Structure 1
Amino acid sequence: MSSTVRATVVQASSIFYDTPATLDKAERFLKEAAALGSQLVVFPEAFIGGYPRGYNFADRSPRGKESFRKYHASAINVPGPEVDRLASMAAKYRVYLVTGVIEREGYTLYCTVLFFDPKGNYLGKHRKLMPTYWERLVWGFGDCSTTPVYDTPYGKLGSVICWENRMPLLRTAMYGKGIEIYCAPTADSGDTWVATMRHVAIEGGCYVLSPIQFCRRKDYPPPPEYLYSPTEEDVTPDSIVWAGGSVIISPHGEILAGPNYEGEGLFTADLDVRGEIPKAKFQFDVVGHYSRADVLSLTVNNRPLLPVTFTSSPSKIKDDDETDECKYI
């Protein structure tokens, strides 16, 4: 295993309702990160497809329905052509790529993180288990069949999205999988977020990488489709509506890069997984020597939770009238 990995978090805005342009923007940032020597690049929550802050989806009027139709059209299928392009970017710039997307499965959308390796392989995904507040109007619920942790030459890599990081049992499940590079893309630019990330790093004895979008009013559609405030009388095109705050934290809770609230950019740090994580775990290993499985334990249901399950495979039934054909049930 390599002793260190250079990791970059990307702080940037999506280009709303224009997924091809957002993919182009992602490639520009990947090129910049590769020029810095980055081997792991992490993009914000919902970067491909856009985070729906300020939209009128809760309005069941024709206007609200049309806004959702456009948002649904901007989402991506997994697998699909956009996934193929992201995989080719990872290969082109020889990086592990972790990015937030809006995933479309039929007519349901999910807030999802995708993982790619430097050879251009799509590794898998994590679907957000618990959308927050009004997110539940537009995003479906994931399950623990998509909570992967991947072995890489640099350490065990996984992701927990936004306020999922406030769910102690989910964090514990990830610690139980041995996560060492903990990606936490989020939509939370609040001043308590960095404290949350520092807590996760110390609790899990892991590196935490948390990229956040930075958006100005001009990055969103015009009113009335998107409203930052009820009247927007005090809002200019350059008003900040999403302040960033991307950060990288060590297993000891030290801030290695960020937080930045100034604009779009890249924030980079060298992670010494083999050197620093053992030092952190020496005093506190929450699923090891600092656990009490005799009195406190966690059981995780990691089977897919499907609304419709068929108990048998399609079978051929002979039609009495058409013996040369068959019907399927």
Structure 2
Amino acid sequence: MQDNVKVAVIQDSSVPFDAEKTALKACRLIEEAAQGEAELVVFPEAFLGTYPKGLTFGAPVGTRLPEGREDFRRYFEGAVEIDGPELRSIEESAREHGVFIVMGIIERDGSTLYCSVVFIDPQAGIVGKRRKLMPTGSERLIWGFGDGSTLDAVDSSLAKVGAVICWENYMPALRQTMYGQGVEIYCAPTADDRDTWLSSMQHIALEGRCYVLSACQYLTRGDFGDDYNCVLGDSPEHVLMRGGSVILGPLGEIIAGPVFNERTILHATLARDTLIRSKLDFDPVGHYARPDVLSVMVDREEKKAVYY
């Protein structure tokens, strides 16, 4: 990690089901973060491609309704491909402003959608991708499962950067996989806006002795159109996701946030010396580990349905 890294966490909403407009909005937010001297910017889960909060996709147990299939068609069309024009525009913005981007996307690959995170270097473009290993609850209906081939943290000129998405953060072995790679900036794009999320993020910062940057959308019913079949309320003012984005230091200290019920950008400066000091009495994969008793095995092979 370089001596000091200036970071920003975006708390804002997608333009639901419109990847082109969301990409344009993301570029404006990147520019705003860069004006605050940010060198690394983290966006929430599913920012580019939409988190469909409150949508059931017409799937009661035992049947699927035609209107739910139409909801999925619309959702599918609003997702993005890794080599698509939306992410190209984000790459161009990263290059223009000299900012490293960590962004939650809904990735379309063939006929399946994945909740993913892309890492975008200002010089090299997309340098990594993480697919969510374990979609939560009804997310499993609409998102495919990732595999171990996308678990790598990313080396950048700023720091070793990793991403763990939403409730994946409750998977101890996955967290250990990040710590084992020496992650210094641990990004947690999420859709969890509960009060209890903060305690989880503080625990991870303490456990991993790393900086933790958690980004959650501020999303209202009014961000969606009138034809959105939301079961959580119809009032445009109804808050579907209230944020709670936060930046924490490697001893669990809150550096910025959490902020609720507004669109904002959190800024902070992260110091390499603080990381080193935090390891004095705890290193989860070093002097405080017991590999003779406990260890984690990671299968990094890509899993395919058909091998030729």
Structure 1 ranges of 4+ moved more than 6 A: none
The separation in 2 between residues aligned to 1:63 and 1:239, in whole angstroms, is 23
The offset of 1:70, in angstroms, is 0.6
Q: TM-score, normalised by structure 2?
A: 0.96
The separation in 1 between residues aligned to 2:37 and 2:259, in whole angstroms, is 21
The offset of 1:153, in angstroms, is 2.4
Could you give the per-residue CA deviations for residues 29-81 of structure 1, whole angstroms, max 9, x where no partner exists? 11110100000001000000100211131432221111100100011111222
Residue 207 (structure 2) aligned to one of 200, 203, 209: 203
The separation in 2 between residues aligned to 1:268 and 1:291, in whole angstroms, is 33
The offset of 1:119, in angstroms, is 1.4
- Note the residue ranges of structure 2 that are not aligned, 5 or more in a row: none
Question: Do the aligned residues in 2 keep the contact of 1:228 with 1:241 (CA within 8 Å)?
Answer: no
Matched, 1:289 2:287: yes
The offset of 1:118, in angstroms, is 1.7
**Residue aligning to 2:82:** 78
**Residue aligning to 1:306:** 304
Q: 1:86-97 to 2 correspondence within 5 Å?
A: 86-97=90-101
CA RMSD, 1 decimal? 1.2
**Residue aligning to 1:137:** 141
Could you give the per-residue CA deviations for residues 207-253 of structure 1, whole angstroms, max 9, x where no partner exists? 00000000111012325x32243xx3xx5211212110000000010
Q: TM-score, normalised by structure 1?
A: 0.90
Matched, 1:226 2:229: yes
**Residue aligning to 2:264:** 265
Paired residue type of 1:227 = C
Matched, 1:103 2:101: no
Paired residue type of 1:270 = T
Question: Do the aligned residues in 1 keep the contact of 2:190 with 2:216 (CA within 8 Å)?
Answer: yes
Question: Do the aligned residues in 2 keep the contact of 1:220 with 1:226 (CA within 8 Å)?
Answer: no
**Residue aligning to 1:166:** 170
The total of aligned residue pairs comes to 304
SS at the partner of 2:81?
coil
**Residue aligning to 2:57:** 57
Compared CA separation, residues 35 and 190, structure 1 to 2 (3 A): same
**Residue aligning to 2:46:** 46
**Residue aligning to 1:277:** 275
The separation in 2 between residues aligned to 1:240 and 1:76, in whole angstroms, is 25
**Residue aligning to 1:241:** 240
Could you give the per-residue CA deviations for residues 286-313 of structure 1, whole angstroms, max 9, x where no partner exists? 0000011111111110110111111xxx
Question: Do the aligned residues in 2 keep the contact of 1:189 with 1:212 (CA within 8 Å)?
Answer: yes
The separation in 2 between residues aligned to 1:53 and 1:307, in whole angstroms, is 30
SS at the partner of 1:25?
helix
The offset of 1:2, in angstroms, is 2.6
SS at the partner of 1:184?
strand
**Residue aligning to 1:12:** 12
Question: Do the aligned residues in 1 keep the contact of 2:246 with 2:254 (CA within 8 Å)?
Answer: yes
- Note the residue ranges of structure 1 that are not aligned, 5 or more in a row: 311-329
Larger Rg: 1
The offset of 1:120, in angstroms, is 4.8
The separation in 2 between residues aligned to 1:88 and 1:12, in whole angstroms, is 21
Question: Do the aligned residues in 2 keep the contact of 1:7 with 1:40 (CA within 8 Å)?
Answer: yes
Question: Do the aligned residues in 2 keep the contact of 1:90 with 1:96 (CA within 8 Å)?
Answer: yes
The separation in 1 between residues aligned to 2:124 and 2:283, in whole angstroms, is 34
Identical pairs, percent: 47
